[in-house]
């Protein structure tokens, strides 16, 4: 049985997954981390949790957050981010610019890639940098 909470995908498998596939997974990973962060920082009502979650996982917020970690990325991580960022989106949400949406897709691609390798410590490190100056609103 596969343990989906402790993965260790190899390079061959990761290369076979599209950028959009990695971004799809990374979107869920990032949202779960945001939801956990909000709960641990005192957001208690479901209405408040939902609104706060949307605020942090929206493309413009992700684009601002990714700027904080770009200087910290290893070469291979940066390549994965760039691969996701350069994926042509079929549509862009109306609350985001094309550049913000592409940066957010790059971040999600990176998070999906790290998750599939079981690199949760690295995910936590990058997430902590992104959230360190944020107030739980």
**Catalytically active residues, by annotation:** 27
Q: Kindly state the DSSP code that residue 24 receives in the 8-state scheme.
A: H
Q: Are 31 and 39 in contact (CB under 8 A)?
A: no
Burial pattern 87-108, b for ≥16 Cβ within 10 A else e, equals beeeeeeeebeeebbbbbbbbb
């Amino acid at each position: 049985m596969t343990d989906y909470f402790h993965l260790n995908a190899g390079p061959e498998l990761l290369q076979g997954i599209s950028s959009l596939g990695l971004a799809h997974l990374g979107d869920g990973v990032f949202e779960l981390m945001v939801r956990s962060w909000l709960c641990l920082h005192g957001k208690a009502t479901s209405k408040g949790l939902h609104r706060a979650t949307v605020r942090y996982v929206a493309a413009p917020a992700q684009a601002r957050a990714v700027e904080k970690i770009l200087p910290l990325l290893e070469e291979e991580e940066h390549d994965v981010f760039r691969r996701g960022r350069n994926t042509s989106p079929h549509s862009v949400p109306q609350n985001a610019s094309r550049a913000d949406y592409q940066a957010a897709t790059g971040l999600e691609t990176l998070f999906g890639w790290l998750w599939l390798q079981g690199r949760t410590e690295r995910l936590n490190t990058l997430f902590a940098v992104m959230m360190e100056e944020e107030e739980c609103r």
